[in-house]
Structure 1
Amino acid sequence: MTQLLAARAGEITPAMRRVAEKEGVTPEFVRQGVAAGTIVIPANINHQNLDPVGFGRGLRTKVNANIGTSTGFPDPARELEKLQVVQSAGADAVMDLSTGGDIDLGRRQIIRASRLPVGTVPVYQAFLENRAKRGNMLTMSAADLFEVIERHCADGADFITVHCGITLEVLKRLKNQPRLTDIVSRGGSFLTAWMLHHGQENPLYEQYDRLLEICLKHDVTLSLGDGLRPGCLADATDRPQLQELIILGELTDRARAAGVQVMVEGPGHVPLDQIAANVQVQKTLCQGAPFYVLGPLVTDIAPGYDHITAAIGGAVAAAAGADFLCYVTPAEHLGLPTLEDVREGIMACRLAAHAADIAKGVPGALEWDRQMSAARKALDWDKQTALALDPRKAARFRQERNPDGHEACTMCGDYCAMKIVGQYLGKASAGC
């Protein structure tokens, strides 16, 4: 029985109880959200060491980190190091986007080592295996694709990104409304090339019921991918993107009817003033399904700083109702991220998520800030460090830039504003 079917039957599963405990809400609140489809708990029955996480309405905004090999860096050991950074930096989920080396081995190692929900994109491996075997990835058959999907689910992937909304009809709209950057989704580009080469419908759309059967068997959450997400501001919120989203809304209904949990992925590169509208349209068309967004990036001009452009967009999106943010690292658009890039990307994304949680009134969000303010007032540096989003970085900055035993920081030195005013308000004994 999947989490969704259990919730509809009135059963509170151990996973629901654990999510409720971590979120500070009641187990019944979680059960009702799962039953309605506004909360998902990606929890594959084959993922043995999973600490369940909930995504959706009324819960803390979650953060995903992408890792994975490439043809240039095929060593899975490197990605296991990144996984340790992902977990220590406070991400809520991780996706293995591997395209190089032994993809099966790397995925299985990541799932075994991860206490976080693990997502994958099976279509990558399906196409790449056909290229390796037959010299041309377009030789892939529907049977090949579903065999790889089954393999990922049997290995314990908790959620899978599947680009089911790219149809021949949608591609007609793409041809009729040319884009500046066309298709930037890797999975979306693979499927588009396959469909146009063969003149056949997307097998993930045409055989959607077959996909649902596999997910039902392993209790895998579908993450309906946005293969036509905009890759630049000029392409945002166009007809192909919205047509795909309409189809994803219909597929959301079918997944829920089959007892399969589902969330929906979103853009992409979006101007700041269009983000809230994008979230509202998704929530309306997809009946409140959890919304998983990449960024959104609010400008195209910041290579090296795209973790910041994504954090700006992510905060706006989450405040408007998005539930799950995919991190972007400083290396986005430039190359595979380093360990430090991964950490920086996670921290920027967590910052965006927390800012949105304050705006949404998520339990405990504002209290964290109140405690930090009290620690600053008291010049309690140890507590400030412990409460910091990134305690490691805060401790390093404090140690490197302030003399030992110095009460204030070197920004103000002897002229700490709170300390000066505190003396006149009779609060000097508190420190500042």
Structure 2
Amino acid sequence: MKNYYTQMEAAKKGIITPEMKIVAEKEYIDAEELRALVAKGEVCIPCNINHKSISPEGIGTKMRTKINVNLGISGDAKNYDVEMEKVDMALKFGAEAIMDLSNYGKTNTFRQALIEKSPAMIGTVPMYDAIGYLEKDLLEITPQDFLRVVRAHAEEGVDFMTIHAGINRRAVEAFRRDKRKMNIVSRGGSLLFAWMMMTGNENPFYEYYDEVLDILREFDCTISLGDALRPGCIDDSTDAGQIAELIELGALTERAWAKDVQVMVEGPGHMAMNEIAANMKLQKRICHNAPFYVLGPLVTDIFPGYDHITSAIGGAIAAASGADFLCYVTPAEHLRLPDTNDVKEGIIASRIAAHAADIAKGVPHATDRDNAMAEARHEVDWDKMFDIAVDSEKARAYFESTPPADRHTCSMCGKMCAVRTTNMILNGEKVEFCSEK
């Protein structure tokens, strides 16, 4: 029997937890206001009781937009050292969450090392791990087997789990009736769909949803309600399958809250820019203002190798329109497992989207660093600019690659630098380009 309250349970009882105090300080929000948002489910603080190294973060209403980094091994790329280098990269550049999506062999050794090391919250998709963990083929796995994997991840200290509980028979019927170009592109969703079709049974995560919630509540693990029917191309966005599943997720959200389990809801995918804002409002309405976690969305399908950019465009619009949590996308998306450089590019692109959205939403102190950069540029203080930059190493390398003759300018404008010229005039100095030495 547990001897503690979940974050939501404590919030409903009027208790401000130590984790709430930390998040309130990070977010410049009153702790009592935060407690009320957690009690309503509009903010979640994914924080498993067994994740001792975590630095708690809030996701949802009035919070900064957070970003997640995906990593993990597969059958074709199983170097744990490389994956740990990606972890270091994620932590260095300020990712608030890391999802271990390993789907090959016994993954718990890596996951336990990750949880022990990481101050970022850790997420998983138990469905990915089921076949390797259980050493059974898909058709042989029982509903109780799936629950065993969920419990194993919760016991290890995973802070949030993607559970594809919304792809039930009703949602599948809508998906099959309304034909798609790309069908199902969610890995976990496709496995569950295959299991349902081969066995003739209901989705076990839907049928035994209360048992799933009991496990998550025991460890205060947040449920991230997966969007198995998310669109995998812009032509499939906002179709019957996506909306049918979203309606199911809205009902599952309330069932989780009734058991004091914190909730995030996952969203699209691929979507044209003109549909994004409406989709964010639709999710918030149907899912009762639960925090919204989006993959992208990618706003076009024809730029493989550049999908960190197509995703950042969609992510910025989504977050400015109400999304709370962005899953990064790397240049390797749709092509291969990302390497460490891909991971860095994906993180930076996602951070740009999140930060731009926070400025647009007026998040407290969002512009502090931008204002500091403006002051440094006004002073033409390159060292200060590099210190403020999110990727100071890259900024410095670009500057030094073609150094200017005068360090009070850069090599693009030289002495015709607009900032330098204006500063000189306002300081009462004469600007004479031809006679200057």
**TM exceeding 0.5:** yes
Summarize the Cα distance change of 1:14–1:378 in structure 2 as closer, same or farther, 3 Å threshold: same
Aligned pair partner of 1:91 in 91, 95, 99: 95
| Distance apart, 1:77 and its partner CA | 2.2
Specify the alignment match of 1:335 in structure 2.
Answer: 336
Q: Could you list the per-position Cα deviations for residues 198-232 of structure 1 after superposition, in whole angstroms to 9, with x for gaps in the alignment?
A: 11100101111001100110000000000000000
Specify the alignment match of 2:435 in structure 1.
Answer: none
2-structure distance, mates of 1:376, 1:252: 47
| Distance apart, 1:281 and its partner CA | 0.4
Specify the alignment match of 1:393 in structure 2.
Answer: 394
Q: TM-score of the superposition, structure 2-length normalised?
A: 0.95
2-structure distance, mates of 1:369, 1:285: 35
How many residue pairs match? The answer is 426
Specify the alignment match of 1:284 in structure 2.
Answer: 285
Letter in 2 for 1:150: R
Contact 2:105 2:132 in 1 (8 A): no
Superposition pairs of residues 39-50 of structure 1, within 5 angstroms? 39-50=43-54
Specify the alignment match of 1:194 in structure 2.
Answer: 195
Contact 2:408 2:420 in 1 (8 A): no
Superposition pairs of residues 261-300 of structure 1, within 5 angstroms? 261-300=262-301
Specify the alignment match of 1:157 in structure 2.
Answer: 158
User: Does the alignment pair 1:74 with 2:74?
Assistant: no
SS at match of 2:293: strand
| Distance apart, 1:128 and its partner CA | 3.8
Specify the alignment match of 2:411 in structure 1.
Answer: 410
Letter in 1 for 2:44: V
Specify the alignment match of 1:147 in structure 2.
Answer: 148
| Distance apart, 1:404 and its partner CA | 7.0
| Distance apart, 1:326 and its partner CA | 0.3
Aligned pair partner of 1:26 in 17, 30, 55: 30
1-structure distance, mates of 2:402, 2:141: 57
Summarize the Cα distance change of 1:427–1:152 in structure 2 as closer, same or farther, 3 Å threshold: farther
Unpaired runs of at least 5, structure 2: 431-437
2-structure distance, mates of 1:174, 1:85: 38
Specify the alignment match of 1:227 in structure 2.
Answer: 228
Specify the alignment match of 2:208 in structure 1.
Answer: 207
Letter in 2 for 1:172: E
User: Does the alignment pair 1:102 with 2:106?
Assistant: yes
Summarize the Cα distance change of 1:374–1:163 in structure 2 as closer, same or farther, 3 Å threshold: same
SS at match of 1:386: helix
Q: Which moved more, 1:6-15 or 1:393-402?
A: 393-402
Summarize the Cα distance change of 1:125–1:428 in structure 2 as closer, same or farther, 3 Å threshold: farther
Superposition pairs of residues 248-263 of structure 1, within 5 angstroms? 248-263=249-264
Letter in 1 for 2:164: H
Contact 2:143 2:204 in 1 (8 A): yes
Contact 1:163 1:187 in 2 (8 A): yes
2-structure distance, mates of 1:138, 1:403: 66
Letter in 1 for 2:29: V
The percent of aligned pairs where both chains have the same amino acid is 50
Q: Could you list the per-position Cα deviations for residues 312-359 of structure 1 after superposition, in whole angstroms to 9, with x for gaps in the alignment?
A: 000000000100000000100110111111111001100000100011
Q: TM-score of the superposition, structure 1-length normalised?
A: 0.96
| Distance apart, 1:389 and its partner CA | 2.1
Summarize the Cα distance change of 1:258–1:408 in structure 2 as closer, same or farther, 3 Å threshold: same
User: Does the alignment pair 1:306 with 2:307?
Assistant: yes
2-structure distance, mates of 1:118, 1:404: 48
